[in-house]
Amino acid sequence: MVIAAITGLGSALPAGFDQRALWEGYFRRHFTDNRFAERIFASAGVRRRHSVLDPLREDVSGWSTEARMRRYRREAPPLGHRAATAALADAGVPAEDVGLLAVASCTGYGTPGLDIQLASSLRLAPETQRLFVGHMGCFAALPALGSVADFVVARHRPAVLLCLELTTLHLQPPTAETQQVVSHALFGDAAVALVLQPVADRRAGSGSRPDTHRPVHPAPRLDLVDLAALTDITTRDHMTWDVTDLGFRMGLSPRVPDVLARHVGPVVKNLVARNGLDLPDVRAWAVHPGGPRILDTVQQRLGLPASALTASRSVLAERGNCSSATVLLVLDELIRDGTLDRGGPVVAMAFGPGLTLYAALLHGSARPPAQPS
């Protein structure tokens, strides 16, 4: 059963930096020319990342949390505005028609928050509802997507979901701790927004119908069909995101891929099976690239060909891990590279603290054939 339709997508990125240049220009000194740290940077699968900060000119590793939050409040609104505006334009939805604005972020806070600042800059209607999803980490996009879809179905109104993360604001003081080296080798900044709209109930003989005062998108790019979640609370100490006096500090156990290996197969197989599908029926995969080992684990446990995760590896290489925004960047990559032109089932997956695994089943609409000129 179709829940709602993703009809628009927009992204915004700050300035880009070459991974090798970051190492040579800043992190080599930050990690005191540690050869082990250099190998981690070289093997992270990242060639380029984006950041609201230029670490070659501005060292924030000693900044207080207050100073980092001030910078978040300065950098986040224009980046989020760009992404949301692009998504609304892509969907052809006027800002005044939006019934809900949901913002997911775990890298910055303040009140009035980013949702209120965007309600002003986007010129949303005063009665537009707002939701902030905070501190869930890398998997936040998918539970937020589910909540926004529930609103769209219940209210028959378009909604916007924005995932915005400025991870580079949380650069930690120099350390030889492996977890910190890994996180600083992987993470980047990004904002991605989706527009969701109601879809007519297509079941024969159904008496339900959408609100006739609100347009139903005739050819949704991606229908959201179903969601699945699993949290293994016995491993909740494997991934942490602690608020400290010097920003937010990540804890990342090397055992995370092993936990994911136990759960990813059963969760995904059950999700597709209860919707009358099998793994070979899935046309495209949008897997959160938490790192090379995460992608290798998913590929191996699901028996996927290497080509299935090309988009995820491309995002990791060119964007890094952007926390909650990353899985949406992978969906954007699948759209841009033409993978979704033929339509068909798509599985999106993201992982984070808990340890938590979320998966979404979507169905793409085939792009109409080009008309002869």
Task: Convert the pLDDT of each residue in 2-38 to its tens digit.
Answer: 789 999 999 999 999 999 999 999 999 999 999 999 9
The CATH architecture of the domain made up of 222-364 is 3-Layer(aba) Sandwich (3.40)
3-state secondary structure of 265: helix
Question: Would you state the pLDDT for residue 363?
Answer: 95
Q: Are strands 159-166 and 48-50 parallel, antiparallel or unpaired?
A: unpaired
CATH code given to domain 4-197: 3.40.47.10
Residue 204 has pLDDT above 60, yes or no: no
Q: Are strands 48-50 and 16-18 parallel, antiparallel or unpaired?
A: antiparallel
Whole-number Å distance between alpha carbons of 293 and 257: 7
Pick the catalytic residue: 106, 138, 163, 322? 138
In the chain, domain spans: 4-197, 222-364
Picking from 56-60, 99-103, 220-224, 333-337, which range would have the lowest pLDDT averaged per residue?
220-224
Q: What is the pLDDT of residues 355-368, one digit of tens each?
A: 999 999 999 987 66
- The DSSP output letter for 143 is H
Percent of the chain scored above 90 by pLDDT?
Answer: 88
Residue 213 has pLDDT above 60, yes or no: no
Whether 4-197 and 222-364 share one fold: the answer is: yes
Task: Output the pTM of the full model.
Answer: 0.92
The dihedral over CA atoms of 80, 252, 40, 28, expressed in degrees to the nearest 10, equals 70
Task: Write down the pLDDT at residue 199.
Answer: 85
Q: Is 163 a catalytic residue?
A: no
Q: Count Cβ atoms below 10 Å from residue 158 Cβ, excluding itself.
A: 27
Residue pLDDT, tens place only, 155-194: 999 999 999 999 999 999 999 899 999 999 999 999 999 9
Look up tokens 């229908």; give the residue: 223
Mean pLDDT check: name the lowest of 133-142, 210-219, 294-303, 305-314.
210-219
Percent of the chain past pLDDT 70, that is, above it, reads: 92
pLDDT at 176: 85
Over the chain, what is the mean pLDDT?
92
Note the pLDDT of residue 155. 96
